[in-house]
């Protein structure tokens, strides 16, 4: 954070420290907000993947591990993110 004044020496060490503390708190707040948003995204992604696995398990009579392997393999072979593959399965009911 930069502080400016029209007169030289306007800021004391105490006010510079206050500015530094304010900048530090702002950085922590932004970091916390970003982490919170990432956690929400991760939970949503996990839910979609679990739902897609359930669809595959029911329609193809697969185990949980086999269903995840199908999603993972399809993701790698098609070069599409796993969460996107899972979203498509949830919308269409299958990989195709």
Question: What is the pTM (predicted TM-score) of this model?
Answer: 0.63
What are the Cα distances from residue 95, in Å, to 3, 63, 70, 82? Answer: 57, 17, 9, 12
Residue 81 belongs to what domain range?
13-92
pLDDT in tens, 19-52: 777 888 888 888 888 888 888 988 889 999 999 9
- CA separation for the pair 32, 9 (Å, rounded): 35
Identify the pLDDT of residue 5. 62
Number of domains in the chain: 1
Report if residue 2 sits inside a domain.
no
CATH assignment at residue 29:
1.10.10.10
Q: Has residue 67 got a pLDDT over 70?
A: yes
């Amino acid at each position: 954070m930069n502080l400016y004044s029209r007169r030289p020496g306007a800021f004391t060490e105490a006010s510079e420290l206050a500015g530094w503390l304010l900048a530090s708190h702002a950085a922590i707040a932004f970091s916390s907000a970003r982490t919170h948003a990432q956690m929400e995204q991760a939970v949503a992604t996990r839910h979609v993947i679990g739902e897609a696995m359930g669809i595959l398990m029911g329609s193809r009579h697969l185990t949980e591990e086999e269903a995840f392997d199908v999603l993972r393999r399809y993701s790698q072979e098609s070069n599409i993110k796993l969460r996107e593959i899972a979203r498509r399965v949830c919308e269409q009911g299958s990989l195709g």
